[in-house]
Amino acid sequence: MKKRFLVKRIFDGYSFITDNVLVVEDGVILGTQKGIDTEKDEVIDRRDFILSPGFFDKHTHGIGGVDFFDITEDDLIKVQTYYFKHGVTTVLPTIVSAPFENIYKLAKAIKKAKKNPNFKLNIPGIFLEGPFINPAKKGAHDERFLQIPTAEKLEELTANCEEKILDIAIAPELLENPDEFFAKANADGINISLGHTNSSFEVAKQAHELGAKNIVHLFNAMPQLHHRQNSITTYALLSDIKVELICDLIHLSPEIIKLTYKLKGAENIILISDSIAATDLCDGEYYLGSLKVKVENGICKLEDNTIAGSTLTIDRAIKNLVKIGIELEDALMAATCNPSRLFSLRCGVIKEGFLADFVLMDEDLNVKEVYAGGELVYKDT
């Protein structure tokens, strides 16, 4: 049976539209309309709420005590509740630099979880933030596991991983044969992101032209802006490559966020959490991959004081952007359709034929209800 959700207003992934009713059936969006024109279908009256596509966190290492570095099917069943609570319906489980066996274990756990009828979180693939990164910009990655990126290693990963590897971060200056590496990644439908890098402007430009589409957490774990020495950071701001931002107001100042939006435009920004297992829990000691992390006042650091991920959630990131003066439409776009378009997925947009994954919020942007496949998976009580 069709369900019609009557709401205050609808954000479709790009802008607020005039229609205020979302129509779904069998887990898929059929379209939108203005007002109710039938009494035959089920009507869910939520006219006090804003409706948006479910949020998409493409860069998250864990939440609620779970780290994707070492995970089971049961962990995934548990962790989805935490993501739903924050309006996130699509996730790329992100693993820091690790032995390949850990990557394969994560893939197997995802494959098993997807067979469970109680698992509703949309996981279109995995994001490998390592191990193909520069030791000089390793941040909170275990240097023991770092490797030089090659087409042969890509082949090894894809041949043994039971779930789709959708995104891989690399330091492009480490490539010995860029053409061969990108040809393999492009043939396998793997997006290449650039990060944890000392790349020059020219090397970043070459990687972008070969197929790289995204910059990992812009400004973090890369050269800083310099008025005489151009780098990947300068290239990121001047080109149309997509960039991730961690908008916890710790990793980046409000001013640098606003500068990035001014230079890049909303369509090229992707909100990420970079969250770790400590997210939604109290301060204390946790792990990010194999490294111990201390969390104080919600700030995550290694023993040497290196920032190690965050305890940010996507709903809070959206609120932070609005708080510093970014338009709500732009903040929501960066959390919904922008990451979806990066991978050409059928989510993150209110559009016919797309997944009926959406979030209902009040005017203060508090998550009130979340739907996955048109089914209620979270309700604020």
**Domain check: are 162 and 267 in the same one?**
yes
Which CATH number does the domain housing residue 77 bear?
Answer: 3.20.20.140
**Domain check: are 24 and 130 in the same one?**
no
**Domain check: are 136 and 23 in the same one?**
no
**Domain check: are 255 and 278 in the same one?**
yes
Is residue 237, in this structure, part of any structural domain at all? Answer: yes
**Domain check: are 214 and 117 in the same one?**
yes
- How many separate domains does the chain show? 2
pLDDT at 1: 78
**Domain check: are 97 and 46 in the same one?**
no
Is residue 243, in this structure, part of any structural domain at all? Answer: yes
pLDDT at 39: 64
Tokens 């960066």 locate to 334
d(CA 207, CA 228): 22
Determine contact, residues 238/201, Cβ cutoff 8 Å: no
Is residue 355, in this structure, part of any structural domain at all? Answer: no
pLDDT at 332: 98
Tell me which residue range forms the domain holding 372. Answer: 3-51+360-379
Q: Which of 20, 9, 89, 101 is nearest to 57 (CA)?
A: 89
Is residue 264, in this structure, part of any structural domain at all? Answer: yes
Which CATH number does the domain housing residue 43 bear?
Answer: 2.30.40.10
Per-residue pLDDT of the chain (381 residues; tens, 9 = 90+): 789 999 999 999 999 999 999 999 999 999 999 988 666 667 999 999 999 999 999 999 999 999 999 999 999 999 999 999 999 999 999 999 999 999 999 999 999 999 999 999 999 999 999 999 999 999 999 999 999 999 999 999 999 999 999 999 999 999 999 999 999 999 999 999 999 999 999 999 999 999 999 999 999 999 999 999 999 999 999 999 999 999 999 999 999 999 999 999 999 999 999 999 999 999 999 999 999 999 999 999 999 999 999 999 999 999 999 999 999 999 999 999 999 999 999 999 999 999 999 999 999 999 999 999 999 999 998
Q: Is 43 exposed, middle or buried (0-12, 13-18, 19+ CB in 10 A)?
A: middle
One-letter amino acid at 181 equals: F
- Which helix H or strand E contains 205, and what residues bound it? helix 201-210
Is residue 233, in this structure, part of any structural domain at all? Answer: yes
Q: Residue 196 corresponds to which tokens in the numbers above?
A: 């944890």
* Residues written for the chain: 381
**Domain check: are 282 and 372 in the same one?**
no
**Domain check: are 226 and 122 in the same one?**
yes
The predicted model scores a pTM of 0.96
Q: What are phi and psi of 186, to 5 degrees?
A: -65, -40
In the three-class reduction of DSSP (H, G, I as helix; E, B as strand; rest coil), residue 247 is classed as coil
